[in-house]
């Protein structure tokens, strides 16, 4: 990694900070242009599969301490990033004038599904930032963004029992900082150790919903969403080769949830959405599709229920899991293993969130108003 950094930034003074117990280095080392320092691991330990608040805090503190012009935070498996990707990320901040650069990797139709279904559409619609991975694995940011991130990461977060997450994109947008997405090519995506989708979804989506709640005064103001950039080049290596996924299992799961969770969904969703879900549940698996506008309204209703604490938040996010899996089934059927189709479906979903934004704004302001 050190050699990669040296080749990526040959004419710049680079300070590399590595976790003390990582085995890479035990004490400060120096070279012509590259300096290496060790910093203590955070109290929470490493979440690993995504950058957490403590990662941003540690990196920001080091950056401010050493007066760094730009900071590049690299997550787990960063060795799979190309030199061009590293240059692109840092260059976007150093030369492009951006305060925050988030990479966009080449992903297949079955990758980063939570981002495609929830994180990207919500970030794009509510914060006007067309960033496909708002919960990044790597990021580059300027000195003033480092200050902002350090301040945010110091705030106590009681929304989760585990390592608190931080949403750098919304932070940057709130502060009117420039946010850019850079193409970063292929990268090995580390997966969380906890394989329970329900708990992971509760953690990540709960954190995002809390962030949305916290920044309600910002996104309620009328804003024009940043137009989406053209989809990244499809990752052909994971495309058609693996064949079309059988979505029947997921569709059956959704039907089972529709039969059993009506009592809970009816507390959260208006009759129109329930009717829409009923129609979806009756569609055969071959034609199964969750319409993007229905999905957008459903997610917005869950955001609102999270804010209003209509039911216990753990229950609420648990009840969202089968709906999310229904969207995944719909996405897999629509994409049929084709990356371009998958990207098109993701953009269609995100566009529906933008279109339906007045719905969440109205319901947030007048939650008790009659809503058919």
Partner 1 sequence: MGQQIESALRQSMHRVLVVLVSFLPGVLVFLLAVILLTALGLLLAAMARRLLTAARFDERLAANETAGSPASFSDWSPSHSPTLLVSRAVLWVCILAGVAIGISAFDASYSTNSQLSQFLLPYLTHVLGAVLLLFFGGLLARFLSRTVLIGAVNAQLQYARFLSLGVKWLVLVLTAAMALDHLQIGGTIVELAFGILFGGIVLTLALAIGLGSRDLVSRSIEKNIDKPAARPMDPSTFPESSETPRPKLRHF
Alpha carbon distance 81, 84 (integer Å): 8
Distance CA 75, CA 93 (A): 18
C-alpha of 240 from chain center: 25
Which tokens belong to 241? 């080769």
Q: Looking at beta carbons only, is 33 or 198 nearer to partner 1?
A: 198
Cβ closest to partner 1, residue 92 vs residue 202: 202
Q: Which residue number, 113 or 145, has a Cβ lying nearer to partner 1?
A: 113
| Identity of the residue, 99 or 163, whose beta carbon is nearer to partner 1 in the bound complex | 163
Distance CA 102, CA 107 (A): 15
Number of H helices, E strands in the chain: 16, 7
Contact 356, 293 (CB under 8 A): yes
CB of 99 to partner 1, least distance (A): 25
We find the least distance from the C-beta atom of residue 38 to partner 1, in angstroms, to be: 29
Buried b (16+ CB within 10 A) or exposed e, 33-61: ebebbbeeebeeeebbbbbbbbbbbbbbb
Residues in touch with partner 1 (CB under 8 A): 49-50, 110-115, 158-161, 189, 191-192, 195-198, 200-204, 206, 210, 242-243, 245-246, 249-250, 252-253, 256-257, 259-261, 263-264, 308-315, 317-319, 321-322, 325, 328
As a dihedral over the C-alpha atoms of residue 233, residue 123, residue 221, residue 363, rounded to 10 degrees, the angle is: 120
CB of 30 to partner 1, least distance (A): 37
22: DSSP letter? G
* Spatial CA neighbour of 170 closest among 208, 226, 118: 208
> At closest approach, how far in Å is the CB of 249 from partner 1?
5
> 3-state class of 360 per DSSP?
helix
Q: For partner 1, which is the closer residue by CB, 65 or 252?
A: 252
DSSP annotation of 235 reads -
Nearer to partner 1, 5 or 205 (CB): 205
Q: How far is the CB of 257 from partner 1 (least distance, A)?
A: 5
CB of 141 to partner 1, least distance (A): 22
Cβ-based nearer residue to partner 1, 40 or 243: 243
Of 219, 224, 183, nearest in space to 101 by CA: 183
Q: Cα 116 from chain centroid?
A: 8
SS3 content of the chain, % helix, strand, coil (to 5): 55, 10, 35
CB of 198 to partner 1, least distance (A): 5
DSSP state of 200: H
Is 98 or 250 the residue whose CB approaches partner 1 more closely?
250
Dig out the tokens for 115 from the structure.
């981002």
- Closest contact distance (angstroms) between CB of 303 and partner 1 is 14
Nearer to partner 1, 142 or 321 (CB): 321
Tokens coding 70: 């730009």
130/122 Cα distance (integer angstroms):
10
Minimum CB–partner distance for residue 176 and partner 1 (Å): 26
């Amino acid at each position: 990694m050190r050699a990669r950094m040296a080749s990526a930034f040959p004419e710049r003074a680079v300070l590399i900070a590595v976790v003390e117990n990582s085995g890479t280095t035990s004490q400060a080392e120096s070279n012509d242009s590259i300096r290496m320092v060790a910093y203590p691991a955070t109290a929470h330990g490493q979440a690993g599969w995504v950058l957490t608040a403590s990662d941003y805090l540690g990196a920001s503190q080091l950056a401010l301490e050493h007066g760094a012009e730009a900071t590049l935070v690299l997550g787990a498996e960063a060795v799979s990033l190309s030199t061009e990707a590293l240059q692109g990320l840092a260059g976007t901040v150093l030369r492009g004038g951006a305060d925050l650069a988030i990479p966009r990797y080449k992903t297949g139709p079955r990758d980063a599904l939570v981002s495609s279904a929830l994180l990207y559409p919500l970030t794009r619609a509510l914060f006007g930032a067309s960033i496909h991975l708002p919960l990044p694995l790597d990021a580059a940011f300027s000195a003033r963004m480092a200050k902002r991130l350090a301040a945010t990461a110091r705030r106590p977060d009681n929304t989760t029992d585990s390592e608190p997450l931080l949403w750098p994109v919304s932070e940057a947008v709130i502060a009117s900082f420039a946010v850019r997405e850079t193409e970063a090519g292929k990268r090995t995506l580390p997966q969380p150790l906890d394989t329970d989708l329900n708990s992971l979804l509760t953690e990540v989506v709960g954190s995002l919903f809390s962030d949305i709640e916290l920044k309600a005064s910002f996104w309620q103001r009328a804003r024009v969403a940043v137009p989406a950039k053209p989809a990244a080049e499809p990752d052909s290596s994971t495309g058609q080769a693996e064949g079309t996924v059988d979505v029947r299992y997921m569709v059956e799961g959704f039907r089972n949830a529709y039969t059993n969770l009506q009592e809970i969904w009816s507390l959260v969703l208006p009759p129109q959405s329930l009717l829409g879900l009923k129609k979806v549940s009756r569609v055969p698996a071959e034609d199964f599709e969750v319409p993007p506008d229905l999905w957008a309204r459903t997610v917005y209703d869950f955001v609102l229920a999270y804010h209003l604490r209509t039911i216990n938040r753990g229950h609420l996010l648990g009840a969202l899991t089968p709906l999310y899996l229904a969207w995944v089934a719909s996405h897999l059927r629509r994409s049929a293993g084709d990356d371009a189709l998958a990207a098109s479906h993701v953009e269609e979903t995100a566009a529906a969130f933008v279109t339906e934004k007045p719905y969440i704004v109205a319901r947030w302001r007048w939650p008790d108003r009659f809503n058919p």
